[in-house]
Amino acid sequence: EVQLVESGGGLVQPGGSLRLSCAASGFTFTNHAMNWVRQAPGKGLEWVSTISSTGRSTYYADSVKGRFTISRDTSKDTLFLEMNNLRAEDTAKYYCAKSGVFGVLIEAGFDSWGQGTLVAVSS
Amino acid sequence: DIVMTQSPLSLPVTLGEPASISCRSSQSLLHSNGYNSLHWYLQKPGQSPQLLIYLGSNRASGVPDRFSGSGSGTLFTLKISRVEAEDVGVYYCMQDVQTPLTFGGGTKVEIK
């Protein structure tokens, strides 16, 4: 059974930093791209970042580019999101999501999601 | 950026009746691999999102066959053949043909 367990959220002041983690199990971690998606309170879903299965390619939403860094540790099957210079508008629940694969290397949506971790940016 | 527009925003439905949600993209989602990079998710109240349909028309594992996806290019539809109580929640479409990946604003399905 696929499991994604996020941790690291909390209350931080504007300008502060946090590091989110997502512990993965139940699948071959190195075979799948991984993603972070966030949801502000009462709002819809917003893609934040993606890292390729190899870790060589990373992608970011403009709203976080230059402030957030996605990475993965294949020795620990763990995904990370380093968040710096946090702003009030970064307040959200952050979900880790696994990319599905269809056929040969065809991305097939986010087929597993964690329960999310809450990040609140406030003074 | 590709803008994803869902309609309706809210959809009151009667148990056992069909329901349909539309998702329109500002650019074609047809990938060079021949598949439409359009996926549907359901977020039930208090839960994480779950994948329903991937690549426009493929049901994800464990998804009941009352759910179906169709469409190509810029217009897509999610249909529920007979709504059940467990189908309530917010439905989102998402494109990943190009970054930034973008979601529709969501359609809230509730029982009348």
pLDDT tens per residue across span B26-83: 999 999 999 999 999 999 999 999 999 999 999 999 999 999 999 999 999 999 999 9
CA distance A88 to A42: 15
- Cβ contact A108–B39 (<8 Å): yes
Q: For A47-94, what is each residue's pLDDT tens digit? A: 999 999 999 999 999 999 999 999 999 999 999 999 999 999 999 999
Nearest-by-Cβ selection for B103 from A47, A113, A116:
A47
Average pLDDT in chain A: 97
- Whether the Cβ atoms of residue B61 and residue A111 lie closer than 8 Å to each other: yes
How far B18 CA lies from chain A's nearest CA (Å)?
24
CA distances from A99 to B15, B24, B110 (A): 33, 23, 29
A105, burial (CB in 10 Å: exposed 0-12, middle 13-18, buried 19+): exposed
- Cβ contact B51–A47 (<8 Å): no
Nearest-by-Cβ selection for B48 from A61, A106, A116:
A116
Q: Reduced to 3 states, what is the DSSP secondary structure of residue B71?
A: strand
Output the CA torsion sign for A1, A110, B68, B81: positive
Query: What's residue A102's pLDDT?
Result: 87
Contacts A–B by Cβ distance under 8 A: 72
Phi first, then psi, for residue A14 (nearest 5°) are -55, 135
Q: Is the pLDDT of residue A112 over 90?
A: yes
Output the CA torsion sign for B53, A25, B98, A121: positive
Give exposure, A55-94, as e/b (b: 16+ Cβ within 10 Å).
Answer: beeebbbeebeeebbbebeeeebbbbbebeebeeebbbbb
- State mean pLDDT over B21-28: 98
Nearest-by-Cβ selection for A113 from B49, B94, B100:
B49
Decide which of A107 and A86 is more confident.
A86
Name the amino acid, one letter, at A110.
F
- Whether the Cβ atoms of residue A107 and residue A14 lie closer than 8 Å to each other: no
CA distances from B61 to A75, A115, B38 (A): 28, 19, 17
- Whether the Cβ atoms of residue A18 and residue A9 lie closer than 8 Å to each other: yes
The 8-class DSSP code of residue A118 comes to E
